[in-house]
Structure 1
Amino acid sequence: MMFAYRISLLLLPFLTSVLSHKPHVALKFGDDLRSYIMINPDMSPLEEAVSVCSWVKQLSPTSRNGAWMHYKTQDYSDEITLSDNLSWAWLLYGNTPHSQTPVHSQWFHVCLAWSFSSGTVTLYYNGVQIGSRSTSRKFSVSTGSLVIGQWHSTYKMEATFSSGYSFGGELTKLNILKRKVSDQEVAQMYKSGVCSNYEDTLENHIHLSWETLLSDDTEKHGNIVKLNLTCPTHTHEPTTGIPTTVRPTEEGGCNNRWAFLRLSDIYNKTIEKEMLQDLRERLELLAEFDGHQIDDTLIAHLTKHHCSSEMPRGDNETEESGDCNNCWAILRFPDFFENVRTCRRRLRFENIL
């Protein structure tokens, strides 16, 4: 299965983003004490591990601690506290030291993660670890409340907030996970960008999702407005050299990652779910040939035995003629033929998975 998985790395981000068609929505909070979300979720699954990840845009003065999340329990007042200037990066009643200052009025990505097994709280900014601290206790799951947009003065479900700490900014893709995210996962969240669907791959580990917070079932108080994001056409790179999935560049002749789009069954066609599903099915079929090199022999076998009338052909191809090479022509592109290789010749896939 690893063989097909490696190949799918080349196509899956493109297929997923087009198939999902998920709207990309942010919440903008009013700069006042009336704008907030307050919920009382069951936090017991987080007792031994938790991660909070979100995209944040600071709009309030940089000198102010705009609390965009505050989880307070009967036992601890700052079990989770995060501010838009990152002065507050509290988890398990302790602040995480760092020296990072976010860029005002621009989206930045932040994750705060911990597990009891590691005994370490880790803070990430734009895909890179910027701080950490040790702790020996577990996450508090006693009676409490979770507030988005304010610093809460009580653990009770009461709208009692401290003035001067209102968020007044924008949030999107805020998720609480029930495990500690890895360095690679955080780097990929940032690299994929504010409008990606990368978080969908972590769905089974998300305890409180952004979709839940966006839902009309989650009451939003005061001046909270939903905004449709204007999505950039590029992805980000982590701000330091954390290894992530290799992206092709023109250096070293590695500009052919998307050359397969010029195949006759794809080029000049409208991107539709049927086309993308077919590409996925071809990749899944390759899982049956785990361990085989991609060469003329394998392509000949696939052409003869796995090129049905339902698969796409060139304009002049027919099943009867046996001229069915087009449906597996993708395997002849340099990214596939004679093995799966990366754009950096000295870097193997095993180093980036």
Structure 2
Amino acid sequence: MKTYYNGTLIGSKSVSSAPLEEGGVITLGRIGSNNWTPPIFGGQLMKLDIFGKVLSSEEIADIYNAGRCSDVEKKHQEVRFVTWESILSQDRTGNVTEVDSGCPAEEEEEEDEKDDCECTHSIWDILYDQTYFNQTLTTEKLTELKSTWNMLEHFVGTLITENIVSHYKVFHPMPAENEVKEYGDCECTHSIWDMLNDHTYFNQTLTEEKLTELNANWNMLDYFVGTPITENIIAYFKAYHPMPAEEDDSS
């Protein structure tokens, strides 16, 4: 374990470690979650992230030097398993008070009008297919997933149009994307290619950088090779690593 202050290493200690199990609880600001009175943290927290790897001294210094209002931590998005944004969205207990960080507020997008029937699309729904769901994720299966976006290499430098999206839906359907799922009184179908309808890609030129960003999604699954793909794992990715267009609703 290493401790940094203002981006500088100030101490280290050898500690034992074990893999985290599913279904646990992360408690911030106190020790444990039982009814007994534990020590309470009386300071302030900001930009707390839990990464799936040990950051180097240089990476720690970059985060500190960029300032607390930056989003430099998103450079490590594929291993940012618990994000500060997701922590802020959780329920809180006790005497927790929000204070002004002094950072510019992000512009809130206006909510689109919603129809009576709502279908949500998530890139992670592909993991519900029988090929993956409740099956051990193997290197071969993950390689197959990663090869999905490689087909887009032929369109680098081209505008992503409705015709291109339709082409992939018709001629390159992925497992589970045409499976009908029930959401209340609605029946919805999902396509991994719906992600291309997001404003980040749709009617925009597909660049090498954007394609690399798409490929980085599957790289996060590297840490789950050898593990059964369960409901909890899929829910984790949907909650903490939503991708563009996932929260778009259509009837």
- Assess same fold via TM > 0.5: no
* Higher fraction of helix: 2
Higher strand share: 1
Q: Shorter-normalised TM-score: what interval?
A: 0.3 to 0.5
Name the larger-Rg structure: 1
